[in-house]
Structures are given as C-alpha cells and as structure tokens.
Amino acid sequence: MKYIYNIDKLKNHNENTVFEEKIGKKAQNLLELAAAGFNVPHFSVITNRYFKEVILKEIEMYNQEAGNNDEIKDWNAVFSGNTERKIENIIRIIKNHKIKEEFEK
C-alpha cells in the first residue's frame, strides 16, 4: 500500500472516491485542478493511514516523554481541552518528522 503521493506523478490520475478517502478532499481537489491544467504548486501528500499509523504514534510518544500521557490518544482528543497547545505540539512533530524509508516506495 502506498502512503505518500507526489502530485507530479498523479496529474493524469483518474480514480474514484476511494482515492479521495486515502488523501483527503483538499488534496483531491488540488489534484483535479492540476489535471484540468490549472497552475497548482508542487506538493506531496501523506495518506490518512500514514498519519494515523506513523505520525499519531510519534505524537503519543512525544506526549509520554513530556509527561502528557493522556493528552492525545486518538485524533478526536486533539479537539478537547487545551487545543492550542496540542496543535502547537503536533505542528512541531510534523515539521521535525522524517518520512520512514519503507513508506517512500
């Protein structure tokens, strides 16, 4: 299963909504604009599954190391309590995240 998609390789992609569920509506819309010939900046997108299986685990590990063991256990927990601090932590983790080699293929 593929976890990371490069927009340049997908401009001629023509699948149904199953693909949209993998990459999200915003990325799907940008992909459709690019396929229609609109000038869309280069971007890559990680799948929802990669986020849940890899990045969310990193967020949980970060919280455990910081002593926030119960802060974020799933995506819904992001939006309860001190959301500003949680989102700042998520942004920090994503910015420092290195894509695991086995997922780049």
The whole-model pTM stands at 0.56
CA angle 67, 72, 77 (to 5 degrees): 145
Owner of token pair 């699948």: 15
Q: Are the beta carbons of 52 and 75 closer than 8 angstroms?
A: yes
Domain locations along the chain? 4-46, 48-103
Q: What does DSSP assign to residue 36?
A: T
Q: What is the pLDDT of residues 12-60, one digit of tens each?
A: 555 544 566 677 788 888 888 888 889 988 877 777 778 878 888 888 8
**Best CA proximity match to 48, nearest among 71, 75, 21:** 21
